[in-house]
Structure 1
Amino acid sequence: MWMITGGAGFIGAHVVRAMTEGGQQVMVYDDLSTGSRDRVPEGVPLVVGSVLDGSRLAAAIREHGVTGVVHIAGKKQVGESVERPLYYYRENVTGLQTLLETMTATGVDRLVFSSSAAVYGMPDVELVTEETDCRPLSPYGESKLVGEWLINASARAHGLRSASLRYFNVAGCATPELADTGVFNLIPMVFERLEAGEAPRIFGDDYATPDGTCVRDYIHVEDIASAHLAAAVRLEEAAKGTALTLNVGRGEGSSVREMVDRILKVADRQGVDAEVTDRRPGDAARVVASADRVREELGWSARYGLDDMIESAWRGWCRRHA
């Protein structure tokens, strides 16, 4: 049985779906601060609790016979982390520490960890590999990197088998009811501006890129979910102390302007001109994953393209805002 922390959230719900369809037994542990009961499928047990509550975690692990954990619960807004660093360190670092202590005490030795490309900061490279220097620019990115350190130390000291998955820019949804309800990423930010009758914003067009706008690696949330399933299966037969660190991306870069143009086409707003504003502090010109290692280690590669991401996100947006 796999316990999926944060399994009632946007990414977590997709992981629950992928793992159950992949034949894995799962239960969800979520404090419902941003997740929803409605995202948890019928027949999947839900325990409401915080990862800061070791007693609650231990009880859930014992009650449901948990043998592995997929840890997605945590806070993920970069801007908010700058304003509330102590809150982010408590939720993301102390929460993980509590989880690891509980796993050690209860004999659970498999962990798939939701990390982030935010650990890299502003890498000046064509493709970001797992060996690229990690220089996070926000408390959020720092908390994910510290989390990886904690996990690797636990692997060495206690034989934990782990996979830390560094997501790149997540988008799309499997079904409209599982769509992201937040407006913190490019695609929903453009949707929100269009709904308000305003032009979408592009933050800076003077970067050293082909069209002057930032280039990113966008990855469908269904691909993120299938990577978790592949990692979980891999850990079932991994040697004790195995500690994998893997980029999860498509290995293809798309500029912000290209994305905005595609979004406008899907939303049937081709006549709208984007508004170019000043750069945002901390935005790197290009952050694109090397996806070689995840393919070699897990036999996994992304299946979905940009239009799949945008069209599925648009269906989810229209459903919620009908």
Structure 2
Amino acid sequence: MKETVVITGASAGVGRATALAFAARGANVALVARGRTGLEAAAREVEAAGGRALVLPADVADHRQVEAAAIAAVEAFGGIDVWVNVAFTSVFAPFTDIAAEEFERVTRVAYLGFVNGTRAALARMLPRDHGTIVQVGSALGVRSIPLQSAYCGAKHAINGFTSSVRVELMHRGSSVRIPVVQLPAVNTPQFSWVLSRLPRRPQPVPPIYQPEVAARAVLYAADHPGRKQYYVGASTVATIMAEKLAPGLLDRYLARTGYDSQQTDEPEDPHRDHNLWQPLDGTAGHDHGAHGSFDENAHPRSRQLWLSHHPLSFAALTTSALLGAAALRARRRGGSRGPRR
């Protein structure tokens, strides 16, 4: 029997790449997003890849629309086996330059959209005692950076929310699983369609990975949901380690470099369209696909993703790095005190 997968944010970026990855193994794929043009293009690719597609235009910030999408998916395909929460929007700007309504909108999509999707999925999975909900998170949910306060806040909230729900599922002895895939910078269209008030065009902080790398991680998490988290990219692992070992030092580093590293040398058009309130791939828009404009600099694979598939190797690498960094800090502290008399 074919598996049925629901993916939010499926019209572009990581969601689009994930839809194609599931389609390649013949899955039924319910595609959820606001933009109909992007959804219909994604549906054609899913069908060409060997899957069955269902287009479900919906704004994940509205729990009623998410519930309606879940009902439609079940009516079309039967029970839901995998639900993947990806959809988000963002604002690139200092916090003081983000209007209250804008911050609330990002939070409703990027955080409450995951809550709404999780609620709809659990309503179908718990009675069957079967299913996996994959939360597509970010290294920025572990360590925040400047100019993305709304997005970072949402990703931190997803981690806290998911941990709580996971323990509740354990308490009731449920077989439903809810892993998180923590992503690095990914080459998606978001950098050309989110609202930006930066003087120069926004860019992902290197190293950058292709969305297909993220999609492979989502598939692996869906097939092996026993672990709580999966990490993609060297920057994700390095960020987590740095936050644990030297958060104050990382603060100073990001204060010095975090603005320039998120901008190209090209000036931003302050009047360009953005997708905060309306999709840019709506009926009057065009399809943006899975990839952004940084193909030349994006990696097609991740060594850290392989390591996260092999817990003992990943644990050994992490432990070694932590011990090495701790020893270095101890030596530095000893040197700063000078010789003992």
Q: Tell me how far apart the structure 1 counterparts of residues 68 and 103 of structure 2 sit (CA, whole Å).
A: 25
Choose the corresponding residue for 2:12, options 5, 9, 12. 9
What is the TM-score normalised by the length of structure 2?
A: 0.55
Deviation at 1:86, TM superposition (A): 0.9
Deviation at 1:80, TM superposition (A): 8.8
Q: Please give the secondary structure, in 2, of the residue aligned with 1:231.
A: helix
Residue 18 of structure 2 aligns to which amino acid in structure 1? Answer: V
Q: Please give the secondary structure, in 1, of the residue aligned with 2:111.
A: helix
**CA offsets per residue over residues 66-117 of structure 1, 9 Å max, x none?**
2210111121444398442111111122222222222222226411111112
Q: Please give the secondary structure, in 2, of the residue aligned with 1:70.
A: strand
Deviation at 1:15, TM superposition (A): 1.0
Q: Please give the secondary structure, in 2, of the residue aligned with 1:45.
A: strand
Q: After superposition, where does 1:81-160 map in structure 2 within 5 Å?
A: 82-83=98-99, 84-107=102-125, 109-121=131-143, 138-158=149-169, 159=174, 160=176
Q: Tell me how far apart the structure 1 counterparts of residues 304 and 87 of structure 2 sit (CA, whole Å).
A: 26
What is the TM-score normalised by the length of structure 1?
A: 0.58
Q: Please give the secondary structure, in 2, of the residue aligned with 1:85.
A: helix
Counterpart position of 1:79: 93
Q: Give the structure with the larger helix fraction.
A: 2
Choose the corresponding residue for 2:72, options 60, 74, 81. 60
Q: CA 1:248–1:136 in structure 2 vs 1: closer, same or farther (change >3 Å)?
A: farther
Q: CA 1:111–1:49 in structure 2 vs 1: closer, same or farther (change >3 Å)?
A: same
**CA offsets per residue over residues 222-281 of structure 1, 9 Å max, x none?**
21111111111113xx4xxxx52222114699xxxxxxxxxxxxxxxxxxxxxxxx9654
Deviation at 1:140, TM superposition (A): 0.5
Q: CA 1:222–1:55 in structure 2 vs 1: closer, same or farther (change >3 Å)?
A: closer
Q: After superposition, where does 1:213-292 map in structure 2 within 5 Å?
A: 216-235=206-225, 238=226, 244-250=228-234, 281=259
Q: CA 1:22–1:251 in structure 2 vs 1: closer, same or farther (change >3 Å)?
A: farther
Deviation at 1:143, TM superposition (A): 0.3
Q: Tell me how far apart the structure 2 counterparts of residues 89 and 252 of structure 1 sit (CA, whole Å).
A: 22
Q: CA 1:162–1:34 in structure 2 vs 1: closer, same or farther (change >3 Å)?
A: farther
CA contact (8 A) 2:144 2:152 kept: no
**CA offsets per residue over residues 294-317 of structure 1, 9 Å max, x none?**
2325999xxxxxxxxxxxxxxxxx
CA contact (8 A) 1:5 1:73 kept: yes
Residue 137 of structure 2 aligns to which amino acid in structure 1? Answer: S
Counterpart position of 1:20: 23
Q: Tell me how far apart the structure 2 counterparts of residues 75 and 201 of structure 1 sit (CA, whole Å).
A: 17
* Aligned residue pair count: 227
Choose the corresponding residue for 2:57, options 27, 33, 48. 48
CA contact (8 A) 1:252 1:289 kept: no
Residue 70 of structure 1 aligns to which amino acid in structure 2? Answer: V
Q: Tell me how far apart the structure 2 counterparts of residues 4 and 154 of structure 1 sit (CA, whole Å).
A: 20
CA contact (8 A) 2:221 2:230 kept: no
Residue 59 of structure 1 aligns to which amino acid in structure 2? Answer: I
CA contact (8 A) 2:137 2:183 kept: yes
Q: CA 1:102–1:299 in structure 2 vs 1: closer, same or farther (change >3 Å)?
A: farther
Q: Please give the secondary structure, in 1, of the residue aligned with 2:178.
A: strand
Q: Tell me how far apart the structure 1 counterparts of residues 202 and 40 of structure 2 sit (CA, whole Å).
A: 35
